[in-house]
Amino acid sequence: MFSPSQEEHCAPNKEAVKYGELVVLGYNGSLPNGDRGRRKSRFALYKRLKPNGVKPSTVHVLSTPQASKAVSCKGQHSISYTLSRNQTVVVEYTHDKDTDMFQIGRSTESPIDFVVTDTISGSQNNDETQITQSTISRFACRIVCDRNPPYTAQIFAAGFDSSKNIFLGEKAAKWKNPDGHMDGLTTNGVLVMHPKGGFTEESRPGIWREISVCGDVYTLRETRSAQQRGKLVENETNVLQDGSLVDLCGATLLWRTADGLFHTPTQKHIEALRQEINAARPQCPVGLNTLAFPSINRKDVVEEKQPWAYLSCGHVHGYHNWGHRSDTEANERECPMCRTVGPYVPLWLGCEAGFYVDAGPPTHAFSPCGHVCSEKSAKYWSQIPLPHGTHAFHAACPFCAAQLSGEENCIKLIFQGPVD
């Protein structure tokens, strides 16, 4: 499945420089059917053994399709902008020894380093849930990393195909900039949001922008695939920072820098927090049976001791079958502790460490899915508007992509300790 060039950064030596990682929102540590090859929920970008970056060089203005085909078949990377049937601008790209390029998209062809498919919200992802028509581009975007410190990572819309070409057809949004260079947008666009204040508990959501094929920053189009581009945002850049979100219209990726990951809790840390909660022997206040979060590798199966919670008040119980309000609202239950009515769901530990903004204990649950993480992480994701469909935005659980609901999108959990 791998070409040698792809394998070299997947199993690097211990001294290899890590540029950062991309984590797909909506997955709790791995894809539902397991991570396989270039298709996985998390992708690390390492310094390559040999640089494979490219930079623009010669520009050709051609009047016949045959001439443009001749240029794009030279074996060099190129971007073709079709202005009309009898005019195409082809920008040739030449080798850049100072950068590494990584490509992301839906295609499984060899130029793609990280294969991304549509995320189905609410953990409904399995082989039976087929996407009828994907909105993610086959060659969606490329990330170019400087090989020298501080290892800056920049994002560009569109990726080069197996012929090393990017084609922007007649219908694609494209234009000539005042300085003369051509640029354009992909059909459904590549959107980026840089949080204000980095990826910490103090961060605030930034503004979603669109990135062009040449890496400029624009305000959003009126709709996702509108012909008219937004306005150029001159004081913002395509440089990814810790916590930047990249939306490919069907999947959203979180960029974590190597330094940011160094300060993030690890899988071992999350497992230690799980054991700590279980060691405190929380009890169901009604059944008085001891509750326990299942182990991380059993995160999809509801177990007998699993904690459940009323998401309107936060009281944690064991599973019971009473308190239904009516047949119409199947999941609306009355909490026996405080009589508050609301959803009653099993609690799941958030296992993807990359989504945590701090290493605090798992005290808060997202509503309505019941994924549990630290207070600051829950409050951070509860305020982040994520693109949904072609023009909507809403907050979603990072662990399963379920749209959040309730007054604050998350709730503080109230555990009862053992009575003895």
d(CA 156, CA 214): 6
Give the helix/strand (H/E) hosting 77. strand 77-84
Q: CA angle, corner 72, sides to 71 and 78, nearest 5?
A: 110
Mean pLDDT of 305-321: 91
Q: Cis omega before residue 150 (within 30°)?
A: yes
Q: What integer best gives the mean pLDDT of the chain?
A: 87
Can you say how many angstroms the Cα of residue 325 is from the centroid of all Cα atoms in its chain? 37
362 contact partners, CB below 8 Å, separation of at least 6: 273, 274, 277, 349, 350, 372, 373, 374
Q: Where are the domains of the chain?
A: 18-263, 267-412
Q: What percentage of residues in the chain have a pLDDT greater than 70?
A: 88
d(CA 191, CA 154): 13
CATH of 267-412, one of 3.30.230, 3.30.1330, 3.30.40, 1.10.10: 3.30.40
What is the edge-to-edge ordering of all strands in the sheet holding 332-334? 316-317, 308-310, 341-346, 332-334
The per-residue pLDDT for range 116-155, each reduced to its tens digit, is 998 887 644 444 445 567 889 999 999 999 999 999 999 9
Q: Cis omega before residue 368 (within 30°)?
A: yes
pTM exceeds cut of 0.85: yes
Q: What is the pLDDT of residue 287?
A: 81
Mean pLDDT of 255-265: 93
Which pLDDT band, with edges at 50, 70 and 90, does 308 fall under? Answer: very high
The per-residue pLDDT for range 366-406, each reduced to its tens digit, is 999 999 999 999 999 999 999 987 778 999 999 999 999 88
Q: What is the pLDDT of residue 285?
A: 86
Q: What is the pLDDT of residue 9?
A: 43
d(CA 106, CA 410): 32
Q: What is the dihedral of CA 18, 23, 29, 31, to 10 degrees?
A: -120
In this structure, what DSSP letter does residue 16 have? P
170 contact partners, CB below 8 Å, separation of at least 6: 82, 83, 84, 85
